[in-house]
Amino acid sequence: MTLRLQQHLYPIIDIMVKEAVRDVNDEGSKVSCRKGCDHCCHLLVEISWTEALEMAYWLAEQPESERNHFIARIHDNAKDARELFLQSRRDKQYADRVLDEEAEISEATHDAYFYDKKRPCPFLSTEGVCLAYEVRPSTCRTHVVTSPAELCSAEVSDSDDYDIPERIDDMRDEIAPLNIAVNGDSGWGHLAIMVELALASIQDPSKMLHTPLAASGA
């Protein structure tokens, strides 16, 4: 049986997010996030290696036609992202995977990613629904804003414009060490690129770039 620690972390993250949202609402602010609002699903979403593996295992369990549909979208999305990230040496490192703190995406590429065109997540439906909701990564679970939803739009997005309550920031700070505990020192990277690599890894364990706890087991 495969040990999948990330699977056990998600319910804990969801409770922490729920409590933080309740506190924000109790303080009189209104959280803008709602079902069907998909602006943030067009932004650059970074996920951990264990989260990527979790999505890859979930994909492996989907009916073949749906799985093939998702995989085609993941390849398209990853190819598109790689082409953009390969603009500089530093971004090439990012495209390969985030292996250390040096491998940060450059500001120019970051801006290009946000402003060039809309890039829907491969798991986003045309109705604006996450089709991989149960395995969506922690970045998606903890993206909570009180600013108008349009400010999360790819066309106008600038993280300086977001209004993220202090309580939400604190909640994220509390979740970060939990993610590190599960993820070890393996890196984070672009959602489609990471899931593409994770799919290759579970199909052929010799391609496993890391052997985090969440991927171990028999």
| Distance, CA of 190 to CA of 88 (rounded, Å) | 16
Binding of ligand SF4 by 123 (CB under 6 A): yes
Contact between 58 and ligand SF4 by CB under 6 A: the answer reads no
Contact assessment for residue 213 and residue 5, using Cβ atoms and an 8 Å cutoff:
yes
Write down the H helix ranges in the chain: 5-26, 49-60, 64-85, 89-96, 107-115, 138-141, 166-183, 191-203
Q: 124 pairs with which residues across the strands?
A: 130
DSSP state letters, 104-117: PPPHHHHHHHHHSS
User: Which stretches of the chain are assigned E, i.e. beta strand?
Assistant: 46-48, 188-190
Return the SS3 of 11.
helix
Indicate the pairing of strand 188-190 with strand 46-48. antiparallel
The answer to whether the Cα torsion of 121, 58, 184, 212 is positive or negative is negative
Q: Which of 74, 121, 144, 193 binds ligand SF4 (CB under 6 A)?
A: 121
Between residue 182 and residue 211, which ones bind ligand SF4 under the rule CB under 6 A? none
Beta bridge partners of 189: 47
Nearer to ligand SF4, 130 or 151 (CB): 130
Among the listed ranges 7-15, 62-70, 120-128, 147-155, the one in contact with ligand SF4 (CB under 6 A) is 120-128
Could you tell me which stretch among 10-18, 22-30, 82-90, 118-126 binds ligand SF4 (CB under 6 A)?
A: 118-126
**Residues pairing with 217 in the sheet:** 2
Q: Supply the minimum distance, in Å, between the C-beta of residue 23 and ligand SF4.
A: 22
Window contacting ligand SF4 (CB under 6 A); options: 69-77, 128-136, 156-164, 168-176? 128-136
- By beta-carbon proximity to ligand SF4, the closer residue of 90 and 162 is 162
- Among 136, 172, 190, 210, interactor with ligand SF4 by CB under 6 A: 136
Report, in Å, the least distance between residue 188 CB and ligand SF4: 14
137-166 binders of ligand SF4 (CB under 6 A): 140
Query: Smaller CB distance to ligand SF4: residue 90 or 141?
Result: 141
Take residue 90 and report the two structure tokens written for it: 């530093």
Q: Please, what is the minimum distance in Å from the beta carbon of residue 131 to ligand SF4?
A: 7
Task: Give the residues lining the site for ligand SF4 (CB under 6 A).
Answer: 41, 45, 121, 123-124, 130, 132, 136, 140
